[in-house]
Structure 1
Amino acid sequence: MTDLDPVEAVDLDIYDSGPLPWSRAHDRLAAELPKAETPLFLGTVRPDGRPHSAAVGAFWHDGDLYFTSGPGTRKSRNLAVNPACTISVRLTGVDLVLEGEAARTVDPDVLAHVAAGYRAGGWPAQVDGDALTAPYSAQSAGPPPWHLYRFTFHTAIGVGTAEPYGATRWSFAR
């Protein structure tokens, strides 16, 4: 049992490879985040309905993903109006799309834990009040301080990119 187990797994594979186990995606998320070389993209919706996508660095903690964004960025402004979003990530052996919602968190314990995780992954983040700072960040993050968002997902779709292949949609009770 992981920190988050699916309530349903639907086999989407058209080549009879069988369903992927959630543990495959879960274990890769835990191992590969927040490494800068792991490509991860946040998809949000603008107030006029147009899509927006931006690369973010994320940290896996207790079954949720956490990411940062400056309050004036397009992604933060989009999430303030509509928290529904996706995270797409290429992990070793599996491409993964997560569907859920993101909300800002200001919990001091979570901020400290996530900042420590980012530091372990190579980004020197520090807690500054109810946000994070560092000497640098991605251009798309905007200027510091950066708000911390908790991404809670209810659906995940994984496609195996290495043996064993397969494609699966997992649903989670949240």
Structure 2
Amino acid sequence: MTDTVKEPIATRNLSRDGSEELPWSRPRDILAADTPGEDLTFFVATVRPDGRPHTAGVGAIWADDALYFVGGPGTRRSRNLAQNPACSVSVRLRGIDLTLEGDAHQVTDAETLERIAAVYRSGGWPARVEDGGFNASFMAPSAGPAPWHLYRLTLHKAYGVACAEPYGATAWDF
């Protein structure tokens, strides 16, 4: 994919205690290793049409050097993203709290849907591609009827605060 993020274009050390900048590879490698196998809850924050925030816990995965997550077409998250793709996603990883900011867009191409469904299946969620989205034998009760949309986050900024050695706090711009 041409818009896949590989490395940040700028990095800022946010640490006030003299800690070194954290490399982007630290959270990126943990995301790649721990999704979808570990029990991680990602929180997606979107903007309602009236400007108020909305946050929801989702299952997300890191694949193709990008973050993917699912939303039922009638959910507040999906309706918000249809109006305004700007969002943030937060997660506590092993040793580092991470917030990702960017734009989330619905994925509809069959090749990507099949590839990402396979990644979800490897983690235990039996996703299958159907009608331009996903279906499965189970989903969050609030998701509504399938097919569920797949979103890909185009990353603009990320913030990491390490809660294990080496400590530090860093902002990455993409």
TM-score, length-normalised on structure 1?
A: 0.94
1:3 to partner: Cα distance: 6.0
Q: Which moved more, 1:141-150 or 1:95-104?
A: 141-150
Gaps of 5+ in 2: none
Specify the SS of the correspondent of 2:121.
helix
Task: In structure 1, give the amino acid aligned to 2:32.
Answer: A
Specify the SS of the correspondent of 1:37.
coil
Q: Does the aligned pair in 1 maintain the 2:131–2:147 contact within 8 Å?
A: no
Q: Does the aligned pair in 2 maintain the 1:44–1:85 contact within 8 Å?
A: yes
**In structure 1, what is the equivalent of residue 173 of structure 2?**
171
**In structure 2, what is the equivalent of residue 143 of structure 1?**
145
**In structure 2, what is the equivalent of residue 61 of structure 1?**
63
Quote the Cα distance in structure 1 between the aligned partners of 2:142 and 2:15. 35
Q: Which moved more, 1:79-88 or 1:53-62?
A: 53-62
Specify the SS of the correspondent of 2:172.
strand
Give the alignment of 1:91-110 within 5 angstroms. 91-110=93-112
2:56 counterpart of 1:89:
no
Q: Does the aligned pair in 1 maintain the 2:5–2:66 contact within 8 Å?
A: no
Specify the SS of the correspondent of 1:154.
strand
**In structure 1, what is the equivalent of residue 53 of structure 2?**
51
Match of 1:125 among 116, 124, 127: 127
Aligned residues between the structures: 171
Specify the SS of the correspondent of 1:59.
strand
1:79 to partner: Cα distance: 0.4
**Segments ≥4 residues shifted beyond 3 Å:** none
Gaps of 5+ in 1: none
Q: Which moved more, 1:162-171 or 1:131-140?
A: 131-140
Quote the Cα distance in structure 2 between the aligned partners of 1:90 and 1:8. 23
TM-score, length-normalised on structure 2?
A: 0.94
Task: In structure 2, give the amino acid aligned to 1:86.
Answer: S
**In structure 2, what is the equivalent of residue 8 of structure 1?**
10
Write out per-residue CA displacement over residues 112-143 of structure 1, whole angstroms, 9 at most, x where no aligned residue: 00000000011010111211000001223222
Quote the Cα distance in structure 1 between the aligned partners of 2:169 and 2:141. 34
Over the aligned positions, Cα root-mean-square deviation in angstroms equals: 1.4
Q: Which moved more, 1:101-110 or 1:62-71?
A: 62-71
**In structure 2, what is the equivalent of residue 73 of structure 1?**
75
Specify the SS of the correspondent of 2:43.
strand
Task: In structure 1, give the amino acid aligned to 2:20.
Answer: G
Sequence identity (%) = 56
